[in-house]
Amino acid sequence: MNMADKPRVAIHKFSSCDGCQLAFLNMGDTLLDLAERVDIIHFAEAGPVSEDARVDIAFIEGSVVTAHDQQRIRAIRDNSEYLITIGACATSGGIQALKNLARDAAHWPAQIYGQPEYIDSLEQSGAIDDYVRVDFELWGCPINSNQIIELVNSLLRGVSPKDNQDKVCMSCKQQQVVCTLVTEGKPCLGPVTRTGCGALCPQFGRDCFGCYGPAENTNVTGLSRRFSGLGLLPDEIQRRFQLIHPTHYIQTTSDTREAGEHE
């Protein structure tokens, strides 16, 4: 990126809840500072609309669920130097990807819409990197403002953004948070989830739900067995892992369920 120029930025929405776009709006005064350093060309939620503009950095929220989405994301990729996915939906397919695991997902629209024949939906919900090249991923459900600032600062300085794959457990230890798994016997996903949230849930005595996706060198099989020791049934364990990032632990949790069925 040419540091002599003011980088052009776009924030695009696909199938999502808008929570990760709010990470921009929640910056407050920091967003105004960011606007001094970059030129926000497209951000429909905040006002400017220019979806087909050529930009230096394109942030993508949401997953691909329609044929039109497939066309849009390829056009955005062609018009962007850097393409950054933000949040669970864009990085892994998100909650929408639950239908990828269901046998009767094609019938779901009829349970919600009066005229399901008008719903244009692909058989599966895909992460952005299933369709185009992604330069960097910001994990979270939702992401937080600090992640955006750190990434933009790195790009403006011409250095590679840091991909923090440490586990939530590391944040708990650093902040002296009592372990909800060991001490309270709660089915915490912290041992297999990347940090980034600051161990928000464990700070309030709640077990981690895996919002920030899989960490590095995770032992899902071992944690599944621990959950079984806490009294969770195989199906409950599987649902636990598939709550926010449904497709990332499917093989391991399926193996755990099958093992439970044969015991």
Complete domains list, the chain, with CATH: 8-157 (3.40.50.700), 168-262 (no CATH)
Total residues belonging to the chain: 263
What share of the chain has pLDDT > 90, as a percent? 67
Q: What does the pLDDT average to over 40-67? A: 95
Q: With CA atoms as reference, report the closest residue to 128 among 91, 82, 181.
A: 91
| H or E segment and range at residue 77 | helix 67-78
DSSP 117-158: GG----SS-B-GGGTS--SEEE--TT--HHHHHHHHHHHHHT
Closest by alpha carbon to 105, among 122, 120, 88?
Answer: 122
| Mean pLDDT estimate for the chain | 89
Task: Give the pLDDT confidence score for residue 150 in this predicted structure.
Answer: 93
pLDDT at 251: 45
Q: 67-76, 115-124, 150-159, 221-230: which has the minimum mean pLDDT?
A: 115-124
Q: Is the pLDDT of residue 168 over 70?
A: yes
Work out the angle at residue 128's Cα, subtended by the Cα atoms of residues 86 and 47, and round it to the nearest 5 degrees.
50
- In the chain the beta strands, taken as DSSP E runs, fall at 8-13, 39-43, 55-61, 80-86, 136-138
Q: Is the pLDDT of residue 4 over 90?
A: no
Average pLDDT over residues 38-66: 95
Strand order in the sheet with 136-138: 39-43, 8-13, 55-61, 80-86, 136-138
- Give the three-class secondary structure for 13: strand
Q: Is the pLDDT of residue 252 over 50?
A: no
pTM of the model: 0.88
Question: If you average pLDDT over residues 203-211, what whole number do you get?
Answer: 95
Please report the pLDDT score of residue 260 as a whole number: 45
d(CA 139, CA 189): 15
